[in-house]
Structure 1
């Protein structure tokens, strides 16, 4: 069955199984970096916040032998579970005095998101843009987020500078940074961490936040890069490996800038999902200037 037919048939089965109690809507969702995904939404009469079910992965499952009826059953089961576990309050979101403690920022690529940036408040940073999101901080819905749009600022009656101030406060405190050597990280993941590994100088380091979620935003945290420069006792390169983390390489002659740019390009092409690419640039932190530059 072709993908287009799969989408239409799945929607037909979902509509039949919900017995007209829900409206089955097929739509396209624009993600980071201009990635557009097909999705289906099941809308009840009084429901305002709905789970979005992406179809490309479901089509891959279908091609592996899972039937349309089984996929529809899975969607309906997950939708019921989502409804029971997630209580997202629109009233809380629309009242900024309550929402302000849950606004955060993240970094995205400016050029790859120009169309999206027309609709959202943002701040330019190098070849990137700082954008803002409302984080749904619930035990059963970790990492759930809502991108903040220009019309939200109008509803809230606040300025972009106020949003940035609150987001900066929340992000650096609720998502503290994590900095460790690449070899140490690998040893930790394999359960072989020893004290000498924690103290030795390494060729590469990983910088992210404790959740490894939109961790590249750590680059904006006050004094973090200066502190790392003091620890390393030298300037360093910053490789934007994804929106979730960066790789730091001390400037000690092991790699040229050209070699590092080639490394970033190859990683983006072969290991990073398109919507998680942050940049193809390599940045440089100058300790004297206390500045990150391209």
Structure 2
């Protein structure tokens, strides 16, 4: 993919220069996935942050001029972000959150200088919400410029996660998606109690499973020990513990990851036990 984007980039550079824009190759790594794109810089904007548009299959259907025009419109519609606010202590305290990744991401995360903590099951990273959909993972170099101790950073992130915690039944989630009450949409009620754990934005909400508050809520419905299924980075599913269904649940997780979940959103192929001591690998 990198070669395709670089070849396209070289053809588009002179076209962009005529319009007052400069193009560069851009790349990001998300959860083992490498995304290639084009950074577009407006020579009339005095900023050190420029948008990067990442490759999508539909690019192949556009001419160089059409793609450039789309990128120009994208950068013109991109919100103006004052990066100084990221280093404001009050802003930081309200916008920092945790996220979790599978342990096999550790080498990549370390190379990217991203701050993380390691548990027996997951890596815990921290990020800032910088726009409605955008986030910025917190690196060591960024954190050095914040007047907050690392311990306080962790406390703030988990306090924000707790404020935004959402635990719903699977029926409630389906009702939201279909925008009709569950019993009116023609789907039979599930026999098994299934709960979905996430956050209000449904963005990197899987980290909510490590909150003590999540356990306290779910134990009222599922008992003192239950199973966590990693649906994606954005949500997890909790079901009651039944010894005779463990292998079946592992198969379900792996099947869903293979056929439904995008690689960039995949959390884990395992299932986990949640009890009063915390979360541990089950299968």
TM-score, L = length of structure 1: 0.83
Counterpart-to-counterpart distance in 2, 1:276 and 1:5: 24
**1:293 is matched with which residue?**
280
Q: Does 1:61 align with 2:67?
A: no
Q: Which whole-Å CA distance do the structure 1 matches of 2:125 and 2:280 have between them?
A: 20
Q: Given that residues 9 and 25 in structure 2 are in contact (C-alpha distance below 8 angstroms), is that contact kept between their aligned partners in structure 1?
A: no
Cα separation, partners in 2 of 1:163 and 1:187, compared to 1, 3 Å: closer
The equivalent of 1:283 in structure 2 is 272
Distance 2:116 2:100 in 1: 10
In structure 2, do the counterparts of structure 1 residues 15 and 99 end up closer, same or farther at CA, with 3 Å as the change threshold?
farther
Change (3 A) 1:280 1:80: same
Instruction: Determine the C-alpha separation between the residues in 2 that align with 1:62 and 1:161.
Output: 44
SS state of the match for residue 280, structure 1?
coil
> Do the aligned residues in 2 keep the contact of 1:103 with 1:170 (CA within 8 Å)?
yes
Q: Which of 147, 150, 157 is matched with 1:167 structurally? A: 157
Q: Which residue of 1 aligns with 2:87?
A: 94
2:189 and 2:249 map into 1 onto residues whose CA distance is: 25
Unaligned runs of 5+ in 2: none
Deviation per residue, 1:164-188 (Å, 9 max, x gap): 0111122222x232321x2443345
C-alpha separation in 2, matches of 1:92 and 1:143: 17
Q: Deviations over 1:78-97 (max 9, x none)?
A: 11111xxx132121112334
Name the residue aligned to 1:112: 105
Answer yes or no: is 1:48 the counterpart of 2:41: no
Aligned residues: 275
* Match status 1:246 vs 2:236: yes
Q: What RMSD over aligned residues (CA atoms) do the two structures have, in Å? A: 2.7
Match of 1:186 in 2: 174
Contact 1:39–1:53, Cα closer than 8 Å, also in 2: yes
Q: Are the structure 2 counterparts of residues 136 and 129 from structure 1 closer, same or farther at C-alpha, using a change threshold of 3 Å?
A: same
Aligned-partner Cα distance in 2 for 1:261–1:114: 26
The correspondence for 2:66, drawn from 61, 66, 70, is 70
Partners of 2:214 and 2:5 lie apart in 1 by 49
Distance in 1 separating the partners of 2:160 and 2:58? 39
Name the structure 2 match of 1:16. 15
Q: Are the equivalent residues in 2 in contact too, given 1:240–1:279 (CA < 8 A)?
A: yes
145-154 or 232-241: which moved more? 232-241
Secondary structure, aligned partner of 2:18: coil
Partner Cα separation in structure 1 for residue 267 and residue 224 of structure 2:
25
| Secondary structure of the structure 2 residue equivalent to 1:243 | coil
Q: Which moved further from structure 2: 235-244 or 93-102?
A: 93-102
C-alpha deviation, 1:34, in angstroms: 2.1
| Shift in Å, 1:200 | 7.9
TM-score (norm 2): 0.86
How big is the shift at 1:273?
Answer: 1.1
Task: Give ranges in structure 1 of 5+ residues lacking alignment.
Answer: none
SS in 2 for 1:256: helix
Q: Could you say if the C-alpha distance between residues 150 and 218 of structure 1 is closer, same or farther in structure 2, counting changes exceeding 3 Å?
A: same
d(CA) in 2 for partners of 1:155, 1:91: 11
Q: Contact 2:126–2:138 (CA<8 Å) still a contact in 1?
A: yes
Inter-CA distance 3–243: structure 2 relative to 1 (3 Å threshold) = closer
1:181-206 per-position Cα deviation (integer Å, ceiling 9, x unaligned): x24433453324249x9998634322
Shift of 1:260: 1.3
